[in-house]
Amino acid sequence: MTTSGAPHDLPDTHASHTALEHIDLTGPGPHTATPGRAELPHRPPGLPTDAKAAIMDRLRDALADGGPPEPVAVDRGYRRLHGQGTDLIAMFAERVTDFRTLVARADAFTMVRTTAALLRRAGVRRLAAPPDHRLTWLTAAGAELVGEERQLTDRPRDRADGAVTGCALAIAETGTIVLDGGRYQGRRMLSLLPGYHLCVVRAEQIVGTVPEAVARLDPRRPQTWISGRPTAPAPTEESAPGPRTLHVLLLG
Amino acid sequence: MTAVRREPAFLGMPPFPEAAHHALADRRLRAELRDTSRTSRSRRAEAVDELPPFVWEKLRRAGAVIKDDVIARLPDHLEELEGSVVAAGGTVHWARDADEANALVIRIAREHAAAEVVGVPAATTRETGLDDALADAGIRVRATAAANAGLTVRGADFAIAETGTVCAVDADENGLRSVTLPDVLVTVLGLEQVLPAWRDLEVFLHLLPRASTGERMSPYVSLWTGVTDDDGPRGFHLILLDNGRSDVLADRMGRQALRCIRCSACLDVCPVYTRVGGQAYGSVPPGPIGAILAPQLRGVNRHDVDAQTASLPYASTLCGACFEACPVRIDIPAVLAHQRAQLTDLGRGPARHREKAAMSAARWGLAEPWRLGLAQHAAALGRHVIARMPHVLAGPLARWTDGRDAPAPPPESFRTWFKRTNGGLDEGGSRDEVPGDTDDETAEGPSATPREEP
Ligand code: SF4
């Protein structure tokens, strides 16, 4: 196997634990007696290997007519960087606003006041925050912060109105915010909390294009790219939360 | 090796011309199709035109080259993908056909004692009929992950061999919830959806949203690599689905259909699809790509097929609009012509249905003058495409051209006509109004003119 560019250091614990060979075919599910399509065709154990081998044979057979292919060079001459002279911060703000998401720009002197205005506008006070968020300016802005864990597990009356997170980076051309669970972001779950999401984007986190973003991101982290207004899940689901508001606080 | 089950996606579908005939009679359906396809076409054009000159064409070419490399070395890429996914804490399964894929999902659900799964609708799970299979097995299916949901089954758009990363492009938040909330996540992926390297995403995340919905970026893009401590599912299963794809691979000409990223751009520009809609094709996916992919997936050149399947390569005017719209440059008209030849050669061409198709096409084409115009341009362009491919023309296609009157030279090219009349949907205009010089635009066939040029 090749992992050029992104070495993996995750231990291989789950693989053996969940391999199909270890699955008890007769249980333990409640519906094991159901006949018909649920049953695989009669084949000996070790089926997955068989299926893989059979598929590989078919693929190799199908490709046999061509001879070994030359490795191809991809012409990456499409634009990878954004043109010189573009104001990426302005472009990002404009394109996020296209989604009817409110973007407020602030600096070190105005961020407390701006944040307070955003929270007032959204009508929220209690915010869940990732564990290592720098909190002082938020409390100064009037937010009451609750720990991420509290938000996810506590009784409803203890729950927050929404969440505050940072981001991994933002893409100007597409108006995209990328969360990857890194510092100041917490788990992906946090950005799914009902109600309100205040996302803090620092100006130096804004890149021009998708290729620039892909080059900077770490494939091993779980990522969420958000471009647009948060949507609620299908309204038919009883327990699904309602729609949320996304506000972007652009710093610098 | 056990026999592979090969059935049409929708049993009992009438062959295309009959189904199309019914669809054409449905005025409301036609009006709806006209409106939606017109809207998506203009949104798409805006999203593409916004890019600096030539960027789109270069991205298309890069996309085609990357996908061709995937196709040419599919076994290697899949081996690498499996290794990367396992290294990241996931489990990889292989499914020869739909039944096998469904049985794997059912087994995983039972292993986790899940009496209910969240099934996010996806092309691959529709293809395998997963919902029915789960219902047969007594497992309830819900559409939305509302809380920590146990087990979720979904599709995805790409998987990166180099890193084991799976990428899904979603229109709403449900997609994001489905990869974040469950304990166990099962992803069903077509073999051809593998991409070689992490950086290849930069090409496809450019191409897919703009070609698909005309957006600069899709609302939600989720990327996950195996399992991550304390964030998201603790179990990750990837099911790699063949289900006829190896048969597609066996056809050197037709295998380019495996480049398809299911953006549906070719549907909205197709003069046939925009009038008859998806049902008439009886295939997943429908439209021009369905017309070339379904017969191959069902193994037209290796297995006996029904009349419905054999009628699909005739569900086209060979006008070339689908090729121009396709973000990975699949030459659908060329593959259609190739398949018609193949069907004739193999004696599988449903002569009766072909005659019928010709007759209904003629009736439809003669109903209004502009339609005749369309047919003429299409025929001219079609001949042109074929003339440029002598290896296809040999043998059966000689018969194909012999059996038809050579149409008069077109007064304007298809491209001009298509632009001017909005793909024939603005039916008011007379085609004589703008007599273009045809030679310049058709001389290179549909493939050679980058869209940035006038
Ligand atoms: S064949 Fe159609 S659906 Fe597939 S990528 Fe091309 S335009 Fe999109």
Tell me whether strands B184-190 and B194-195 are parallel, antiparallel or unpaired: unpaired
**Tokens 């009451």 correspond to what residue?**
A144
First to last CA, chain B: 55
Q: What is the token pair recorded at B329? A: 């440059």
What is the DSSP secondary structure assignment for residue B394, as one 8-state letter?
Answer: I
Helix (H, G, I), strand (E, B) or coil at B237: strand
Least Cα separation, residue B225 to chain A (angstroms) = 6
Note the pLDDT of residue A227: 93
Mean pLDDT of A165-185: 93
Angle in degrees, CA B63, B193, B186, rounded to 5:
145
Find the closest chain A residue to B57 by CA distance: A78
- Does residue B313 or residue B283 have the better pLDDT? B313
| CA-based torsion, B58, B63, B66, B71: positive or negative | negative
B425 vs B302: CA distance, rounded Å: 39
Q: How does pLDDT run across A75-90, given as a tens digit for each residue?
A: 998 877 777 778 999 9
Out of B51, B146, B250, the one facing A240 most closely (by C-beta) is B146
Q: How does pLDDT run across B238-257, given as a tens digit for each residue?
A: 999 999 999 999 989 999 99
Whether residue B236 and residue A14 make contact (CB cut-off 8 A), yes or no, is yes
pLDDT classification of A244: cutoffs 50, 70, 90 = confident
Tell me whether strands B220-225 and B165-170 are parallel, antiparallel or unpaired: antiparallel
**Residues of A whose CB is below 8 A from B234:** 14
Find the closest chain B residue to A73 by CA distance: B65
Q: How does pLDDT run across B380-424, given as a tens digit for each residue?
A: 444 444 444 433 333 334 444 443 444 444 556 555 656 666 665
| CA-based torsion, B203, B209, B211, B216: positive or negative | negative
ipTM, two decimals, is: 0.78
R_g (Cα) of chain A, nearest Å = 24
**Tokens 């080259």 correspond to what residue?**
B65
- Does residue B355 or residue B314 have the better pLDDT? B314
Pocket test of ligand 1: the residue of B48, B263, B281 to mutate, having most ligand atoms within 8 Å of its CB, is B263
Ligand 1 centroid to residue A80 C-alpha, Å: 24
Has residue A119 got a pLDDT over 90?
Answer: yes
Note the pLDDT of residue B311: 82
Element (H, E) at B247: helix B245-249
Task: For chain B, give the mean pLDDT.
Answer: 78
Whether residue A38 and residue B143 make contact (CB cut-off 8 A), yes or no, is no
Note the pLDDT of residue B195: 98
- Does residue B244 or residue B445 have the better pLDDT? B244
Has residue B309 got a pLDDT over 60?
Answer: yes
pLDDT classification of A16: cutoffs 50, 70, 90 = very low
Note the pLDDT of residue B453: 33
Percent of chain A with pLDDT over 70: 67
pLDDT classification of A243: cutoffs 50, 70, 90 = low
Give me the amino acid identity at A195: G
pLDDT classification of A46: cutoffs 50, 70, 90 = very low
Whether residue B231 and residue A3 make contact (CB cut-off 8 A), yes or no, is no
Supply the residue whose CA is at minimum distance from atom 7 of ligand 1: B326
Q: Using an 8 Å Cβ cutoff, are B330 and B260 in contact? A: yes
Whether residue A56 and residue B205 make contact (CB cut-off 8 A), yes or no, is no
pTM score, whole prediction: 0.77
Q: What is the token pair recorded at B25? A: 């009679």
The contacts of residue B299 (CB under 8 Å, 6+ apart) are B6, B244, B247, B305
A179 vs A225: CA distance, rounded Å: 6
Q: In what order do the strands lie in the sheet with B91-95?
A: B91-95, B235-241, B184-190, B151-154, B116-119, B140-142
Supply the residue whose CA is at minimum distance from atom 4 of ligand 1: B260
- Kindly report which listed range (B9-23, B201-215, B237-251, B418-432) carries the lowest average pLDDT score: B418-432
Whether residue A14 and residue B230 make contact (CB cut-off 8 A), yes or no, is no
Has residue A53 got a pLDDT over 90?
Answer: yes
Find the closest chain B residue to A95 by CA distance: B216
For residue B36, how many other CB atoms are within 10 A of its CB?
A: 13
Note the pLDDT of residue A11: 33
Helix (H, G, I), strand (E, B) or coil at B206: helix
For residue A121, how many other CB atoms are within 10 A of its CB?
A: 12
Written in H, E and C, the secondary structure of chain A is CCCCCCCCCCCCHHHHHHCHHHCCCCCCCCCCCCCHHHCCCCCCCCHHHHHHHHHHHHHHHHHHHHCCCCCCCCCCCCCCCCCCCCCHHHHHHHHHHCCCCEEEEECCCCHHHHHHHHHHHHCCCEEEECCCCCCHHHHHCCCEEEEHHHHHHCCHHHCCCEEEECCCEEECCCCEEEECCCCCCCCHHHHHCCCEEEEEEEHHHEECCHHHHHHHCCCCCCEEEECCCCCCCCCCCCCCCCCCEEEEEEEC
Least Cα separation, residue B166 to chain A (angstroms) = 10
Q: How does pLDDT run across B39-55, given as a tens digit for each residue?
A: 888 888 888 888 888 99
For residue A88, how many other CB atoms are within 10 A of its CB?
A: 18
With b for 16 or more beta-carbon neighbours within 10 A and e for fewer, the A89-104 pattern comes to: bebbbebbeebebebb
Bridge partners, A104 (sequence order) = A249
Top-ranked range on mean pLDDT: pick from A7-16, B127-136, B349-358, B381-390: B127-136
Pocket test of ligand 1: the residue of B328, B336, B451 to mutate, having most ligand atoms within 8 Å of its CB, is B328
Has residue B357 got a pLDDT over 60?
Answer: no
Note the pLDDT of residue B57: 94
Tell me whether strands B235-241 and B91-95 are parallel, antiparallel or unpaired: parallel
Note the pLDDT of residue A21: 33
With b for 16 or more beta-carbon neighbours within 10 A and e for fewer, the B343-366 pattern comes to: bbeeebbbeebbebbeebbeebbe
pLDDT classification of B32: cutoffs 50, 70, 90 = confident
Q: How does pLDDT run across B97-150, given as a tens digit for each residue?
A: 999 999 999 999 999 988 889 999 999 999 999 999 999 999 999 887 666 688
Ligand 1 first shell, C-beta below 6 A: B 211, 260-266, 289, 325-328, 330
B415 vs B41: CA distance, rounded Å: 15
The DSSP code sequence of B1-13 is -PPPP---SSTTP
B73 vs B255: CA distance, rounded Å: 12
Q: Using an 8 Å Cβ cutoff, are A146 and A111 in contact? A: no
Ligand 1 centroid to residue B285 C-alpha, Å: 10
Percent of chain B with pLDDT over 70: 72
Give me the amino acid identity at B67: K
Supply the residue whose CA is at minimum distance from atom 2 of ligand 1: B266
Note the pLDDT of residue A5: 37
Mean pLDDT of B346-375: 48
**Residues of B whose CB is below 8 A from A37:** 99, 102-103, 133, 136-137
Q: How far is CA A111 from the centre of its chain?
A: 26
Mean pLDDT of B180-188: 93
pLDDT classification of A128: cutoffs 50, 70, 90 = confident
Whether residue B232 and residue A222 make contact (CB cut-off 8 A), yes or no, is yes
Has residue A22 got a pLDDT over 90?
Answer: no
Has residue B158 got a pLDDT over 90?
Answer: yes
Has residue B216 got a pLDDT over 90?
Answer: yes
Q: Using an 8 Å Cβ cutoff, are B120 and B143 in contact? A: yes
The DSSP code sequence of B339-382 is HHHHHHHTT-S-HHHHHHHHHHHHHHHHHSHHHHHHHHHHHHHH
Atom of ligand 1 nearest to the CA of B259: 5
